[in-house]
Amino acid sequence: LKSKYLNLIADAGDESSLEEIRLTAVGKKGEVALKMRELGKMTPEERQVAGPALNALKDEINAALAAKKAALGDAALDERLRAEWLDVTLPARGVRQGTIHPISQVTEEVTAILAEMGFSVAEGPQIDTDWYNFDALNIPGHHPARAEMDTFYMHRAEGDERPPHVLRTHTSPVQIRHMEKYGAPCRIIAPGRVYRADYDQTHTPMFHQVEGLAIDKDISMANLKWVLEEFFSAFFEVDGIKTRFRASHFPFTEPSAEVDIQCSWEDGQLKIGQGDGWLEVLGSGMVHPKVLTAAGVDPAEWQGFAFGMGIDRIAMLKYGIPDLRAFFDSDLRWLRHYGFAS
Ligand code: PHE
């Protein structure tokens, strides 16, 4: 009996088969217990020999079980240590930090430069009435400029009497809202999102403009030219950038000018701020008297300039980005390529 169980114990491969052996050998109904029960039928002399022998057998089996159990435990631990090995000296995987979107970065640059020249930031809603977006800016209902702007109109349910709303097509409505609220004089910029139904390499249905507005007693286009040349020199980091004003037409300015900045092409590379080429960057002019009146400012007393510039466009020029749409793809490889993400 002893050698049978000691052999079984030695061969046991895991803890559950060891437990089975324990039950059949020294469990309550195990083989040793059965033998113990037979002691009752023995003569006292026989019992004196058999009793201690059985107890010794039981102890020996228990001891063998315990030793084997410990050995199996060690083996299991060794196996886990082997399987779950890890090298804590490996260098850690890098954690990449989020970064400010390039358009937001450029908006901040633009704001910082113009703030230094005394312009403060004004804001208006992206969904505006067509009065603010058009009428107050001297673009009445039939005006072709409305069609040209590819306006997104907000749908109104039948019977809804509220005034029509649009996604603002430019930041110019902020001029009206600001003058209405704070009057003249004023010197503000209004950066923000604008919307037009247009999509190709240089147009996305949502893009960004920054509006400029300076109203005072004797502001002229000379002030506008100075502000813009200072601004572009700081923004493109080239001293003394020249601008060219081309006569143009906007319903909300008179006179109106489209403004180009100096540039050149060298070996297929665009260089801003030097050479004798010109690149259109913004629309501007002297605020139309009708616009001042619509905003509650007396044109007999006040006058000033306004300009509107595409933020995405000057960002593309500054960073040499050929396709505007990439700004809004959230492609990390693209962002990293242009140094906008780590
Ligand atoms: N709002 C014009 C546009 O979006 C730009 C502009 C602003 C022109 C202010 C003149 C004065 O095209």
Q: Between 173 and 46, where is the model more confident?
A: 173
Closest atom of ligand 1 relative to the 170 alpha carbon = 4
For residue 262, pLDDT beyond 90: yes
Cα(317) to ligand 1 centroid in Å equals 19
**CA-nearest residue, atom 4 of ligand 1:** 170
* Model confidence band, residue 42 (pLDDT cutoffs 50, 70, 90): confident
Whole-Å CA distances, 96 to 85, 190, 341: 27, 33, 9
Pocket of ligand 1 (CB under 6 A): 170, 172, 250, 253, 283-285, 306-308
**DSSP for residue 288:** P
Q: Among 166, 206, 215, 250, say which to mutate for ligand 1: greatest number of ligand atoms within 8 Å of CB.
A: 250
Rounded to whole angstroms, the Cα distance separating 229 from 227 reads 6
Return d(Cα 227, Cα 33) in angstroms, integer. Answer: 106
Mean pLDDT across the stretch 122-141? 94
Residues whose CB falls within 8 Å of the CB of residue 146, separated by 6 or more in sequence, listed in order: 134, 139
Burial of 214 (0-12, 13-18, 19+ CB in 10 A): buried
- The model's confidence at residue 128, banded by pLDDT at 50, 70 and 90, is very high
pTM given for the model: 0.74
Q: What is the DSSP letter of 327?
A: G
- pLDDT value for 4: 86
Q: Which two tokens stand for residue 132?
A: 């603010």
Ligand 1 atom having least distance to the Cα of 287 = 11
Burial class (CB in 10 A: 0-12, 13-18, 19+), 179: buried
How far does the centroid of ligand 1 lie from the alpha carbon of residue 187, in Å? 16
Q: How far apart are CA 175 and CA 302, in angstroms?
A: 14
Protein residue with its CA nearest to atom 5 in ligand 1 = 308
- With a pLDDT cut of 70, the percent of the chain lying above it is 100
* Beta strands, E only, the chain: 120-121, 127-129, 165-167, 186-195, 206-216, 243-250, 253-266, 269-272, 277-287, 303-310
pLDDT in tens, 43-98: 888 888 888 888 888 888 888 889 888 888 888 888 888 888 888 898 888 888 88
